A and B are shown apart, each in its own frame.
Chain A
């Protein structure tokens, strides 16, 4: 089945950046400006294509839409199977938007190996979109690992002083998790295959990697329950938990953020972390609902620790980027918490929180990048008085700080509140603990903002003289779309909530089959 006007829209969105990357490879090295605009053009086309998909999407239909399916490795039943539901689509659009913004944000900062950088970025986009649209476990895994390579290069080549350590740590750490996941994928497929052989199905591999087939199979035969499910879920959990990242698997994140170039941090925080949350909802829960219930208490506890602990550690960070990185650990804790209380508002909130975190934290990293461009420093202790030196910058920073604090009217609030509310319904103690982060979040964010913007200009800033110019139009252009969406989703979160409602219901249905009575102490 194909989408608008017979176009295979999903494949178009996914591989358009790849085509662009190939074209850019043939552009002359000595014309970086041409390369930049070409890359931006490709990213904008991908954004447009994803918006076309959004326009053609039927939110009332919970089934996978724009589905495409071709045999790829028929011997093992592996298919090129892609398609979107509301959840996928929301994250695809987030990806295409943030990629376009990231490429624009790289115009100034990236001055060496521009072509290679842009190619890496576009290939990164292919991987990210691929993860969100793949409906075949093997295809999903390919995209999942594809993401690592360009990110490895982006941090390792265009990163900061300690970039090699950071990028190797990032790649190895994520690989450990994802390889265990591959084992689990293979084991799941093999279990399916053996059952089909025993049942005398003539094509036993058929559907062995199809997530929908496998989920239905598991629900019917209960072969994915018990020890098998427990271990397989554990493997998926490790892969996704590292990516999110959940406490205590988070320590790669501050290192990677600090060393990554600005745009790398934006994508890292904005999209890569979402891969983990998405993985839980799309694969881990439907495939192993029983194991999900077994694991849930532990995951909830880890989420709560992450929420509070990330915020406390953020309170004492000396480096702007590290502070934002630890705030991500805290904010993403809401996502895993919202997923694993298996409750409607909580899950909707978790998804909204993923989108919001992408917008807000992406913007915060862009803003840190603006100051780093001018000062080549991110030490908070050296900052001060930007309110009078860079008033527009300070005001913009303040806006996103309060978005991150969770100010109602801006998008961060709705996601967090829905997550907390849903958690309260299911597990009031957990909600009570998580709500306390409201204080800590205000603490570290306002502390940072005070040190940065208030007071008299610091000696360090005075020493920079005229280099400390206010935010430039091109930098503002990267922030305005994010700010606009933060306001729009804050006042009208239904745009996201309605889009993902179908996915939420489907996921909860899958999980509730395993434990229909597990919903809540209150009811």
Chain B
């Protein structure tokens, strides 16, 4: 949808940029100023406005400012993607002031916009705006909508700081601020204990990764003497340079941060719990934008990773493992949002796998398409939950497709998109990842490429299957909805359905838009060309491509590339068909008894079922390690403090007091008397001190 707009606006925007490049010095800061102003305004006046005038009054400013942010973003995205002046191939830097002036360590409050930033801006501002609109409908019955919109604005501010930052430390600042917004929004219904716990868990688990990220930033400074991302990356890739901190270590430290924010195994445990937040939050933060921050970070740091290929192997391995691990859990979850949460983990795993094999553009491509279709699926699930009166258990849904048609059809688009069926968006980006991985293995001998491709295909099949399971259980077959709720099921208001439709469009066509006239469609229609996304992002990844020195190969639609496409479409189709047979489609009912027969077939399937249902017991393990054992350690430390350390202090006091009956009389408990003793003691000490040290030399 957005990209339609970009092409329409391009003609109008271009003259402005040509006339006065300085306008971007104003527009870029405006991107963060507008949302933070909305937050400040709402925090101060939102409650009063909502109570005195009405809900709409409290929503007007935060929603209006995000729409304005989106418009400003458009004006920046178009020239930045096209490398127009003043952005050029390497982007535009806007410095506001010197943030930290500490001698040799200087950090600017400055933003940097290049094509990669612009690609992220497309996702963040568009989905952000649609989620704001959707929330007007979704939160219409909440007594504190003003607070919700204030937090959403704070999130938009934080996320924009993250993607716009020109220095590592400012990225880190945005990184922590999105963590704060996420904490506030997960815990939005704070009177619920589960929400409060989930919010805290998300923040703390993220901090585990942040320790690595922070140390990585320090290591980058030690290695390069600068915090500016572009400058430091240039220094890190200087040929023949040696660095105090080995680059693979630096890369892995940075990756630790990415693992936390993008919820990669084993730091994934916070994301499913984060579904305690209102559903628009799950869509915006925990599917479409914030969880992409880790992918963005590594894409941004791509020259560092290309110079440390040992670290890339780790990235790929953790990514592809998370992909299959999370997909295995999504098989058995019955909470509709949790299925989507595990699906998000799995798709993020794909992106990391892509980064790990050096398919940078494919990773960003998938980030963009996934942002739209997963945002759509989450908002759709919110519409479903809304329709069946806050029910999230899919066992109490079913047969909804005719009652909430817009929600159903849009979610169907999202499902086919994520399953990877052409010509919807997910097919292009997922195929790009798998195809690149295979070709890097086939032509360049990158062993990890086969692993990513092989496991990736299995995951593709699993994805199609569990997504259809979600669709079948929710929309098709017989209704299992609470009979009291059944008659009241209704489609959501337009504020909610319009964003669904607007997200369904890019979910359907974004893949075509971002690849045409490049492969695979170009060759299919006999057109020669390069995919626009590849052209846009080419300068960002140029250094890495040079370092990795992968060969270029002609696109063979009727050769290797064709076979790869066939393979990924085939597995997706198998997954969907099996899903349809087992869980139904439209009026056809699912085969519940067959599903049960399969799960109970033998010991192995029963074990797998329980493992999946219990998320491989990782939450239980964490509980044991950190709550039980960790709690004991902390309790011991406190006992040690009171009994041993303070005991020693008091012991000295008591011994002094009780020593010698004769002395006891002077222990009156009065400070004056102690002072006398001190004066005497002081003399003794002064003399003995000088005796010990002896005469001055």
Contacts and interface: CB of A to CB of B under 8 A. Distances in A.
Contact of B101 (A187, A194, A417, A498): A498
Pick from B197, B633, B686 the residue with the most CB of A within 10 Å. Answer: B686
B43, B208, B215 pick with most chain A CB within 10 angstroms: B215
B645 interface: yes
A278 to B, nearest CB: 19
Contacts of A7: none
A493 B100 contact: yes
B661 interface: no
A417 B200 contact: no
Interface in A325-351: 344-345, 348-349
Nearest to B195: A454
Contacts of B169: 408, 417
A260 interface: no
A190 B690 contact: yes
A497 B193 contact: no
Interface string B171-183: 0110011001001
Contacts of A417: 169, 214
Contacts of B203: 442, 446
A476 B385 CA distance: 41
A439 interface: yes
Contacts of A168: 669, 671
Given A180-B685, A438-B214, A443 B204 contact: yes
Tell which of B104, B195, B196, B674 has the most Cβ of chain A within 10 Å.
B196
Contacts of A152: 671
A179 B177 contact: no
B239 interface: no
A48 interface: no
A248 B645 contact: yes
A231 B641 contact: no
Given A248-B645, A408-B176, A447-B200, A425 B222 contact: yes
A158 B339 CA distance: 58
Contacts of B690: 187, 190
B634 A231 contact: no
B645 A251 contact: yes
A455 B199 CA distance: 12
B262 to A, nearest CB: 18
Contact of B103 (A223, A345, A420): A345
A493 B103 contact: no
Contacts of B222: 424-425, 428, 522
A446 B641 contact: no
B191 A313 contact: no
Interface in A169-194: 169, 171-173, 175, 179-180, 182-184, 186-187, 190-191, 194
Nearest to B187: A454
A275 to B, nearest CB: 19
A80 interface: no
Given A345-B103, A409-B173, A421-B218, A446 B634 contact: no
Interface string B667-696: 001010010001001100110011011011
B211 A436 contact: yes
B655 interface: no
A494 B100 CA distance: 6
Contacts of A455: 190-193, 196
A223 B697 contact: yes
A92 to B, nearest CB: 22
A446 B180 CA distance: 11
Nearest to B692: A231
A183 B685 contact: yes
Q: Which of A171, A172, A175, A420 has the most CB of B within 10 A?
A: A172
Given A173-B649, A316-B631, A456-B191, A435 B204 contact: no
Contacts of A279: none
B649 A251 contact: yes
Interface residues of B, number: 68
Interface string B193-225: 101110110011001101100110011011000
Contacts of A309: 637
Contacts of A385: 191
Contacts of B183: 446
A113 interface: no
B335 to A, nearest CB: 22
B678 A179 contact: yes
B641 A251 contact: yes
B197 A450 contact: yes
Contacts of A251: 641, 645-646, 649
B597 to A, nearest CB: 44
B99 A491 contact: yes
Contacts of A344: 102-105
Contacts of A424: 215, 218-219, 221-222
Given A407-B177, A424-B222, A183 B211 contact: no
A455 B176 CA distance: 24
A256 interface: no
A182 B682 contact: yes
A436 B207 CA distance: 9
B447 interface: no
Contacts of B180: 402, 407
Interface string B564-583: 00000000000000000000
A191 B215 contact: no
Contacts of A432: 215
Contact of B208 (A194, A252, A439, A456): A439
A155 to B, nearest CB: 12
Nearest to B648: A248
Interface string A424-445: 1100100110011011001100
B662 interface: no
B409 to A, nearest CB: 39
A390 interface: no
A179 B105 contact: no
Contact of A187 (B187, B210, B686): B686
A129 B97 CA distance: 33
A418 B211 contact: no
A327 to B, nearest CB: 14
B200 A183 contact: no
B16 interface: no
B649 A522 contact: no
Nearest to A317: B638
A522 B244 contact: yes
**Best-buried of A180, A228, A442 by chain B (most CB within 10 Å):** A442
Given A231-B693, A345-B102, A442-B207, A408 B196 contact: no
Interface in A136-162: 152
A419 to B, nearest CB: 11
Given A191-B696, A408-B173, A387 B214 contact: no
Interface in B208-263: 208, 210-211, 214-215, 218-219, 221-222, 244-245
Interface of A: 152, 168-169, 171-173, 175, 179-180, 182-184, 186-187, 190-191, 194-195, 198, 223, 227-228, 231, 248, 250-252, 309, 312-313, 315-317, 344-345, 348-349, 385, 387-388, 395, 402, 407-409, 413-414, 417-418, 420-421, 424-425, 428, 431-432, 435-436, 438-439, 442-443, 446-447, 450, 453-456, 491-494, 497-498, 501, 504, 522
Given A344-B102, A402-B180, A407-B180, 14 more contacts: A169-B649, A190-B690, A231-B689, A251-B645, A251-B646, A313-B641, A385-B191, A409-B177, A424-B218, A425-B221, A425-B222, A442-B203, A494-B101, A497-B100
Interface of B: 43, 97-105, 109, 169, 172-173, 176-177, 180, 183, 187, 190-193, 195-197, 199-200, 203-204, 207-208, 210-211, 214-215, 218-219, 221-222, 244-245, 631, 633-635, 637-638, 641, 645-646, 649, 653, 669, 671, 674, 678, 681-682, 685-686, 689-690, 692-693, 695-697
11 contacts: A169-B653, A175-B678, A187-B690, A190-B690, A251-B645, A312-B633, A428-B245, A438-B207, A446-B204, A454-B193, A492-B99
Question: A-B pairs with the 3 shortest C-beta distances?
Answer: A408-B173, A454-B196, A251-B646
